Amino acid sequence: MTTLLITHPAGLAHAMPPGHPERPERLKAVEQALEAERFAALIRVEAPLGTLEQVALCHPAAYAEALMASAPTSGFVQIDSDTLMSPGTIEAALRSVGGAILAVDEVMTGKARTAFVAMRPPGHHAERLHAMGFCIFNHAAIAARHAQAVHGIERVAIVDWDVHHGNGTQDIFWDDASVLYASTHEMPLYPGTGAASERGIHGTIVNVPLSPGTGSDEFREAFEVVILPRLDEFRPELVILSAGFDAHWRDPLASINLREADFSWVTQKVMEVADRHAGGRIVSVLEGGYDLEALAKSTAAHITALMEG
Ligand SMILES: [Zn+2]
């Protein structure tokens, strides 16, 4: 079945100061990995600009307006302790949103079965009212709301295996029973949220915190015992993946010890859920992953699994 790869050169123009881990080289590493022969069957599409109306599905209009008003014409503007804007940031963030929306449109209309959005900045730390943790707009969350608003489905699941908790996604869907948000993440670690006791108003937030040093076995057990059964119970009509690869053992920002094979495994397991309930529809968006080699190899493993489903 067809897998889309959605990206745009604007993702490289979101500059960061020297030494910042969320750097353009991340996207270059992913692109290089996807030049391999086995990815020739990917349908490659440019990410369109997302609109402010689409951003407003999850963030108030004043939020985007304030960010755009403070965007620099040169250099950097700091908007949070570790989150900055450069002149290319707004376009990159809007194309991250537009790419995720296009992925939903193509998958929901059957033009593709799965799609991967290779863009930056990432999104899952962006709350309704706060850009933080390298994130500007929460593209996974916006994609979920878009699927409901435009394609008329009721239940969307967002599965997030980035090593950091997606506090932004949790914030946006805290009181929304129509979106199941399930996350594995290292704890304690930035941003500090994601305890198992944080369940949302309707019990549709599912957090499985993992201790530093956790390896493949405990990660897979978290999915087999907690997350996959909850997904089956929820019966999502679309599955969105917040695909971060910073739980890899090589990653410098965290200490979970996953390998590429774990990302293949979890992709296949979630695809089985999507096959049972969602016609196989999966939209995956890139979140974190800060060791270039680990990011490239893990993304390749993830996309290979998406293509083989
Ligand atoms: Zn992360």
Residues with catalytic roles? 125
The pocket of ion ligand 1, defined by CB under 5 A, consists of 162, 164, 244, 246, 288
For residue 164, report the distance from its CA to the centre of ligand 1, in Å.
4
Q: Domain-by-domain residue ranges, the chain?
A: 3-308
Residue ranges in the chain modelled with pLDDT below 70: none
CATH code reported for the domain at 3-308: 3.40.800.20
- Hey, what are 170's tokens? 């949790």
Q: Which residue has the tokens 């950091």?
A: 164
**Which pLDDT score, from 0 to 100, does residue 309 have?**
77
Alpha-carbon distance of 161 to 181, in angstroms, equals: 11
Q: What spacing in Å lies between the alpha carbon of 250 and ligand 1's midpoint?
A: 13
Q: What is the pLDDT of residue 140?
A: 98
Q: Which residues pair with 43 in a beta bridge?
A: 4
Q: Which two tokens stand for residue 133?
A: 């943790």
pTM above 0.85, yes or no: yes
Q: What pLDDT is stored for residue 247 in this prediction?
A: 98
Q: Cα separation of 292 and 254, whole Å?
A: 14
Q: How many CB atoms lie within 10 A of CB 19?
A: 6
Helix axes 139-151, 89-108, angle to 10 degrees: 40
Record the tokens describing residue 306, joined without a space: 């998406």
Rg of the chain over Cα atoms, rounded to whole angstroms, equals: 17
Give the residue among 141, 139, 98 at the shortest CA–CA distance from 6.
98
| Residue 169 alpha carbon to ligand 1 centre in Å | 13
Count of beta carbons in the 10 Å neighbourhood of residue 74: 6
Distance 110 CA to ligand 1 centre (A): 30
Q: Is 136 helix (H, G, I), strand (E, B) or coil?
A: coil
Q: Please report where in the chains the tokens 């809007």 appear, as a residue.
A: 94
C-alpha 257/C-alpha 246 separation (Å) is 9
